[in-house]
Amino acid sequence: MATEVTVPVLGESITEATLGEWLKQPGDAVAVDEPIASLETDKVSVEVPSPVAGVMGAHAVQVGDTVQVGAMIATIESGAGAPAQAAAPQPAVTESPKAAEPAPASDDGPAALSPSVRRAVLEHGVDPATVKGTGKDGRITKDDVIAAAATPAAAPVVAPTAPVASPSVAQSTGRKEERVRMTRLRQTIAKRLKEAQNTAAMLTTFNDVDMTAVIEARTKYKDLFEKKHGVRLGFMGFFVKAACMALKDIPSVNASIDGEDIVYHDYADISVAVSSPGGLVVPVIRDADQLSVAAVEKTIGDFGKRAKDGTLKMDEMKGGTFTISNGGVFGSLMSTPIINPPQSAVLGLHRIEDRAVVVDGQIVIRPMMYLALSYDHRLIDGREAVTFLVALKNAIEDPTRILIDL
Nearest to 293 by CA among 250, 244, 326, 257: 244
Catalytic residue among 223, 315, 377, 405: 377
Q: How many CA atoms lie within 13 A of 164 on its CB side?
A: 23
CA–CA dist 49, 289 (Å, integer): 37
For residues 204, 210, 213, 219, the Cα torsion angle rounded to the nearest 10 degrees is 90
**Pairing verdict, β 322-326 and 270-272:** parallel
How far apart, in Å, are the Cα atoms of 384 and each of 239, 250, 262, 372, 376?
18, 7, 16, 14, 11
* Alpha helices for 209-317 (secondary structure H): 212-229, 236-249, 293-309
Catalytic residue check, 124:
no
3-state secondary structure of 261: strand
CB count, 10 Å around CB of 124?
A: 17
CA–CA dist 325, 291 (Å, integer): 19
Catalytic residue check, 229:
no
Helix, strand, coil shares of the chain as percentages rounded to 5? Answer: 30, 25, 40
Catalytic residue among 65, 381, 398, 405: 381
CB contact at 8 A, 396 and 216: no
Q: Which positions are annotated as active-site residues?
A: 377, 381
